[in-house]
A and B are shown apart, each in its own frame.
Chain A
Amino acid sequence: MTTTPDKTGVELVSVTIDGIQVDVPKDTLVIRAAEQVGVQVPRFCDHPLLAPVGACRQCLVDVPDAGNGRGFPKPQAACTLPVAPGMVVNTQVTSEVADKAQQGVMEFLLINHPLDCPVCDKGGECPLQNQAMSNGRGESRFVGSGAGGVKRTFPKPINLSPQVLLDRERCIVCQRCTRFAAEIPGDPFIALVERGAQQQIGIAENAPFLSYFSGNTIQICPVGALTSESYRFRSRPFDLVSSPSVGEHDACGSAIRVDHRRGKVMRRLSGDDPEVNEEWITDKDRFAFTYATEADRITYPQVRDTDGSLRPASWIEAFAVAARGLREAGGVGVLAGGRLTAEDAFAYSTFARVALGTNDIDFRARPHSAEEAEFLAAHVVTTGPEAGAVTYADLESASTVVLVGLEPEDEAGAVFLRLRKAALHHGTRVLALAPYTTRGLGKMNGTLVPTAPGEEPAAVAGLLGTEHGLDARSVVMVGERLATVPGALTAVADLVAKTGARLAWVPRRAGDRGALEAGCLPGLLPGGRPVADAAARVDAAASWGVDTLPDTPGRNGDAIVAAVLAGELGGLVVGGVDPLDTTDPAATRAAVEQASFVVALDLRASDVTRAADVVLPVAPVTDKAGSFVNWEGRVRSFERILANPASLPDSRVLAGIAEELGRPLGFRTVEDVRAQMAEMGPWDGPRATMTPVEPVADTARPGEGLRLASWKQMIDNGTMLAGDKHLAATARPAVARVARAVHDACGPMVTVTGDRGSVTLPSEVAPDLVDDTVWLPASSTGRGLLADLASPGSRVTVTGGNA
């Protein structure tokens, strides 16, 4: 829980704690210095990642010498007192005064605390319970005093949000939750109200605790006052098995802890990884795990029967049918999807090259471009922290962080928290090239560089000016959305080359970066080997144990879809891709319908599985080992948590088909895959280079509609959010953000119309929205904007909602 001070070059201070001398960095708090000598001073309000408050008074220690020869006459709170040279501290271990003070405070804490531990969710993992045992008296004097103590009572729990509940009787008002909300995400929607023993945590009327990070308060609550609708009363901590894992909802690679019981995940908590997500995770990483146990989970292989229906099949049969169909399809494209582990992605990459003999593979289940693929090959693949790539810690020391096509609060929660910390505590300046100042940008003290959709290339080029002062201590973070703007990634590459600023690519999905490393791109083999480089092909072929590899770069995702529709490709292997996420949902859906043979690997039934010829169930992350490579390029490995023999990783399924094809992949288990990946390693030859792409001039005339800005909100209609209605209820409402003039003209409800349809939703004014622009959440309405509204980069019109 507490980080050990390990920085070198920090001034050390020598103090004596319980007779033991210890050197700790200057300004270390006594409570943490004590940990260095192995003494745990009891505490509640103290949290190493929150500012000291000294409210609970549980950590009182005796300080006979403050370092100046004089002692404090009264016990001091160890959580607010910094060390001083020569200071002498006696904790409860050696001081009767400290011990009595702590016991006294503990007794006070318990007088108004309901002793309902047997039915409390926190019972068994409760700091109050534990420390009452270690630093309290066994019997209460309260109940026997006077006329018998009367506890303060409150009606049982109240909702702080649709997900977070507060039991005020249990609350010891340590303020960890309110301090977290104010300090870490900057969402101070909970606050102290009332006073004295009636003091409690409250929300303002009509302003519930709607924060993407609200679940962290439950985890740091030192009592059972905060609980979630999703978990409360579900299990006892001592019945749970805890397994470390990695968040699968974004590219942050957050360490999580999965608590499970008898083969079922009961809850998820934040792990503790100071280098990555510290001790915080998003509510999505915490609560969104029920998608894996939804009723539409596919639990057995299916093949298309002669009557046209899907029927259950054995694995053996399904592999054989799939192999036969792919062999006879007449060209197969592979759409791998962005949610794969790196190992599974490597299996897709191997399957395409070795088993199918094609480079027609793409992981990008979203609008993408050839420019992006070249950008990734030239500037992103095989970079990582060990090779000097940008890390979370670098964000804190950066002079400036430029965000282009990236809204971290929605798209990369841990990045948002670290940027906010950097901005607030380390003076990092955040610049965002975005259409308006988002709440997230405000919380990072960020500055908007107003940029209309499509104008990113010019805006990025504009950062070259001296007024922005980008230098080698700056970081440019680009999001996956930039792929839809021709020339934008070219401009970014140019910017970092000219300023010396460092580059980080932050995709949304957890599997994108790993799939890039695994070579799930038409022009890239694993480890960043360019397909166009004969030596790289030979190197990969040798590692794979095959004679040759296809030597022409393949088709990207959009081209694969087009080729199927044009009859150039007959077969598709689809790994959990939702057509609604792709550049042209209708075209992708048509391609799946039209393809002569489709093999679908998926967790749950989808439009693709319903149309597929062979449906193969794959394991959710809990049922397999794997790794996600996060945006830093850091490999975040995790082990299998639940043993489910019927649940196979994609790699095992693909290996089975390949064996039936007579072209085995050389691996069956995740361990085999890891060994193969390690053997192949990163390419040490020349990197691919990028062909600059010219921006496309905006040819629209004034009045020809508005430019559509959009990204996905963290909590939206995504399939991996299925199954937790309480979490879903915390989503930000879907609104169109419009200029004041549009709002005035169209009213509070607007209908936005594009080349693919119309969406009607409430509108809200974004005061600094760039001209001729409207912003909509990408996947919070209907089937999402790509299917319902407009093609990427096209213009839309806004009219009154009832028009």
Chain B
Amino acid sequence: MSTIDTLTPVLTDDWDAEQSWKLATYESRGGYEALRTALGMAPDDIVAAVKDSGLRGRGGAGFPTGMKWSFIPQDNPKPKYLVVNADESEPGTCKDTPLMMASPHTLVEGVIISSFAIRANHAFIYIRGEILHVIRRVQAAVAEAYAAGHLGKDIHGSGYDLDVVVHAGAGAYICGEETALLEGLEGRRGQPRLRPPFPAVAGLYASPTVINNVESIASVPSIISHGAEWFASMGTEKSKGYGIFSVSGHVERPGQYEAPLGITLRELLEMSGGVRHGHRLKFWTPGGSSTPLLTDEHLDVPLDFEGVAGVGSMLGTRALQVFDETTCVVRAVLRWTEFYKHESCGKCTPCREGTWWLVQTLAALERGEGSEADLDLLLDQCDNILGRSFCALGDGATSPISSSIQFFRDEYLAHLTHGGCPFDPAASTAWAGSLTGAAK
């Protein structure tokens, strides 16, 4: 039986503090202590600590962070760069935005320690352009950090210099793809780059570059403060540590639940008050719309990289969107697919043209038009996109479609026999109860 004790608030620990985003608040609760520790360490020892902690990338792919850092060729005479990917745009994913809102200094401190570790004197925080309030808050935090001597020349007498640039994106989901992000940061059109060369060798301005997710970097101060063993003591064998689980949708108390990796949706639902009163779980995404859907069969799947992969999906960004039985899966999938069509950068054929076609086929099915053969056509279109597109955006676009047909083929067919959507779209809304007057 899981309780609130299951939670491990580290990144979210300060969120309830008065003016949690202020430097004074952060420092009063031990902030920037890790920085002082780190500046007294050899950079390689920081890399080793992060490696030993088992921290894996929190942006979705789960690549070991310390290993990524160790790929930076230190004999390369070019400058090294740290780039923080804060272009959080995936439907359902909402962890970095509240983190930067509530505790931007956690990120800034992580940026300084990480840059020090990889010997970068310039770091960039690339924030999704639409979230202006977050951009302002991180800018303010960086300014505070400069004023306090945490940034700039000769930080705390260590001889180490670091400048941080907060960069606002221009509104493109594709720029969450790390090489497209670099293109955007360089002032070019945001489209993914050919790899190799990989960013660790030739990234920003063709120089060695580490690109990490906000949450990965924000986790670094805690590893320095409490040690790699402390971090590795949480989580599961290959998925160490804690992470923010963003529970949204048809639950009683949606929100950010920071817990060790390996927690299950069942436990998270218990903490969040369960599925919307009077309803039951129908399907959910483990890590945003690009991760294949799961159903109530998967309530006890451990939410770590291996556990979710084991059931054919991906842990992704731990964006748990919960849908109850009032939701039409065809409708939900169509909305996501429209998103991918809108966000396809256009560079490669399968994603550009495929999403254009997928939307048309799905939209017809939702209207009850087309035939059962269109389901197989949809799956074949997905097969021709998955693994054929230039970057993972195309792959992600197929996930909700193939997984929903796998689990809810009958519901698709019901649209055809019903001559349209058999669901009442209002019933799935947050205000459904007030509209109908029904008691909760």
Chain A contacts to B: CB under 8 angstroms: 52-58, 60, 73-75, 80, 100-101, 104-105, 107-109, 111-112, 141-142, 145-147, 149-150, 152, 172-173, 191-192, 194-199
Per the bound structure, the CA–CA distance linking A198 and B345 in Å amounts to 9
- Residues of chain B within 8 A of A52, CB atoms compared: 194
Q: Is the CB of B346 within 8 A of A56?
A: no
- Residues of chain A within 8 A of B362, CB atoms compared: 146
B67 contacts partner chain A, Cβ-Cβ < 8 Å: no
Q: Which are the 10 A-B pairs with shortest beta-carbon distances?
A: A104-B384, A199-B346, A146-B364, A74-B387, A108-B353, A147-B364, A146-B361, A196-B344, A197-B356, A146-B370
Per the bound structure, the CA–CA distance linking A74 and B387 in Å amounts to 5
Q: Is the CB of A108 within 8 A of B384?
A: yes
Q: A150-B360, A196-B341, A196-B343 are in contact. Are A55 and B374 (CB under 8 A)?
A: no
CB-based nearest A residue for B172 = A195
A201 to chain B minimum Cβ distance, whole angstroms, is 11
Q: Is the CB of A58 within 8 A of B344?
A: no
Q: Is the CB of B194 within 8 A of A104?
A: no
B369 contacts partner chain A, Cβ-Cβ < 8 Å: yes
Per the bound structure, the CA–CA distance linking A55 and B351 in Å amounts to 11
- Residues of chain B within 8 A of A58, CB atoms compared: 349
Q: Is the CB of A109 within 8 A of B353?
A: yes
A104-B380, A145-B374 given; 4 more Cβ-contact pairs under 8 Å: A75-B387, A109-B353, A146-B362, A197-B352
- Residues of chain A within 8 A of B361, CB atoms compared: 145-146
Main secondary structure of the interface of A (DSSP, over half): loop
Chain A to chain B contacts (Cβ below 8 Å), 9 pairs: A57-B350, A105-B349, A108-B350, A196-B343, A196-B352, A197-B344, A197-B355, A197-B356, A199-B345
Chain B contacts to A: CB under 8 angstroms: 172, 174, 189, 191, 194, 341-350, 352-357, 360-365, 367, 369-370, 374, 377, 380-381, 383-385, 387-390
CB-based nearest B residue for A152 = B356
Of A53, A146, A194, chain B has the most CB atoms within 10 Å of the CB of A146
- Residues of chain B within 8 A of A101, CB atoms compared: 384, 388
Q: Is the CB of B388 within 8 A of A60?
A: yes
Q: Is the CB of B352 within 8 A of A173?
A: yes
CB-based nearest A residue for B340 = A196
- Residues of chain A within 8 A of B347, CB atoms compared: 55, 173, 199
Tally the A-B contacts, defined by beta carbons under 8 Å.
119
Cross-interface CB contact of B357 among A54, A80, A108, A194, cutoff 8 Å: A108
Q: Is the CB of A194 within 8 A of B194?
A: no
Q: Is the CB of A100 within 8 A of B384?
A: yes
Q: Is the CB of B346 within 8 A of A194?
A: yes
- Residues of chain A within 8 A of B390, CB atoms compared: 54-55, 57
Per the bound structure, the CA–CA distance linking A58 and B348 in Å amounts to 10
Cross-interface CB contact of A55 among B348, B380, B384, cutoff 8 Å: B348
Q: A75-B388, A147-B370 are in contact. Are A196 and B349 (CB under 8 A)?
A: no
Per the bound structure, the CA–CA distance linking A101 and B355 in Å amounts to 16
A141 to chain B minimum Cβ distance, whole angstroms, is 6
Q: Is the CB of B388 within 8 A of A104?
A: yes
Q: Is the CB of A111 within 8 A of B357?
A: yes
Per the bound structure, the CA–CA distance linking A105 and B350 in Å amounts to 6
B83 to chain A minimum Cβ distance, whole angstroms, is 22
Per the bound structure, the CA–CA distance linking A152 and B389 in Å amounts to 20
Per the bound structure, the CA–CA distance linking A88 and B31 in Å amounts to 54
Q: Is the CB of A195 within 8 A of B345?
A: yes
- Residues of chain A within 8 A of B380, CB atoms compared: 104
Cross-interface CB contact of A146 among B344, B369, B385, cutoff 8 Å: B369
B308 to chain A minimum Cβ distance, whole angstroms, is 19
CB-based nearest B residue for A172 = B349
CB-based nearest B residue for A195 = B346
- Residues of chain A within 8 A of B364, CB atoms compared: 145-147
Q: Is the CB of B360 within 8 A of A146?
A: yes
- Residues of chain A within 8 A of B346, CB atoms compared: 173, 192, 194-199
Q: Is the CB of B365 within 8 A of A112?
A: no
Per the bound structure, the CA–CA distance linking A145 and B375 in Å amounts to 10
CB-based nearest B residue for A200 = B346
Cross-interface CB contact of B369 among A107, A147, A172, cutoff 8 Å: A147
- Residues of chain A within 8 A of B189, CB atoms compared: 191-192
Per the bound structure, the CA–CA distance linking A74 and B362 in Å amounts to 26
Q: Is the CB of B360 within 8 A of A57?
A: no
CB-based nearest A residue for B363 = A146
A5 to chain B minimum Cβ distance, whole angstroms, is 22
CB-based nearest B residue for A151 = B356
Per the bound structure, the CA–CA distance linking A287 and B363 in Å amounts to 48
Per the bound structure, the CA–CA distance linking A440 and B369 in Å amounts to 59
Q: Is the CB of A196 within 8 A of B342?
A: yes
Q: A146-B363, A194-B346 are in contact. Are A199 and B387 (CB under 8 A)?
A: no
Per the bound structure, the CA–CA distance linking A150 and B174 in Å amounts to 25
Per the bound structure, the CA–CA distance linking A487 and B391 in Å amounts to 61
Per the bound structure, the CA–CA distance linking A107 and B369 in Å amounts to 22
- Residues of chain A within 8 A of B345, CB atoms compared: 195-196, 199
CB-based nearest B residue for A150 = B360
CB-based nearest A residue for B367 = A147
Of B194, B343, B363, chain A has the most CB atoms within 10 Å of the CB of B194
B419 to chain A minimum Cβ distance, whole angstroms, is 13
Per the bound structure, the CA–CA distance linking A191 and B191 in Å amounts to 13
B284 to chain A minimum Cβ distance, whole angstroms, is 27
